[in-house]
Amino acid sequence: MSEQGGEKSFAPTEKRKRDAAQKGDVIRSRELATAASVAIGAAWLLIAGPWLLGLLADSLRAGFTWDRATLDDFTPGRMLTAALIGILPPVLVLGVAVILASLVSQLGFGEGRWIGGNLAPKGSRIDPLAGLKRMFGPNGWIEIGKGLAKVALLGTIAWTWANGRIATFARLGQGDLLDQLSWAWDAVILLLFWLAAGLFVIALFDLPVQLFRRLTRLKMTLQEVRDEQKDAEGAPEKKAAIKDRQRKIAMGGLVPAMKEAQFVITNPTHFSIALAYDPGKASAPIVLAKGRGDKALAMRELAAEYAVPVLEYPALARSVFYTTRERQVIREEHYAAVAAILAFVLALKRGEKRTAPQVSVPVTLRFDADGRLDPASV
- Residue 53: name the closest of 28, 78, 90 by CA: 90
Out of 189-203, 246-260, 309-323, which region has the weakest mean confidence (pLDDT)? Answer: 246-260
The conformational region for residue 306 under phi > 0 = left, psi -120 to 50 = alpha, else beta, is alpha
Residue 1: its pLDDT value, please? 40
**Average per-residue pLDDT for the chain:** 77
Burial of 268 (0-12, 13-18, 19+ CB in 10 A): middle
- More confident call, 268 vs 125: 268
* pLDDT exceeds cutoff 70 at 76: no
Span 231-252, pLDDT tens digits: 766 556 666 665 666 566 556 6
* Domains of the chain, CATH where assigned: 26-217 (no CATH), 241-365 (3.40.1690.10)
Residue 198: its pLDDT value, please? 85
Residue 298: its pLDDT value, please? 87
Out of 84-98, 106-120, 237-251, which region has the weakest mean confidence (pLDDT)? Answer: 106-120
- More confident call, 265 vs 56: 265
- Residue 367 phi/psi, 5-degree rounding, is -125, 155
Amino acid in the structure at residue 375: P
For the segment 294-301, the average pLDDT, to the nearest whole number, is 88
Residue 344: its pLDDT value, please? 95
Coil vs helix vs strand at 378: coil
For the segment 281-298, the average pLDDT, to the nearest whole number, is 90
- More confident call, 294 vs 84: 294
Maximum separation of any 2 CA atoms in the chain, in Å: 134
- More confident call, 229 vs 124: 229
pLDDT band for 3, please (50, 70, 90 cuts): very low
Buried b (16+ CB within 10 A) or exposed e, 26-57: bbbbbbbbbbbbbbbbbbbbeebbeebeebee
Residue 161: its pLDDT value, please? 82
For the segment 59-86, the average pLDDT, to the nearest whole number, is 62
Residue 112: its pLDDT value, please? 46
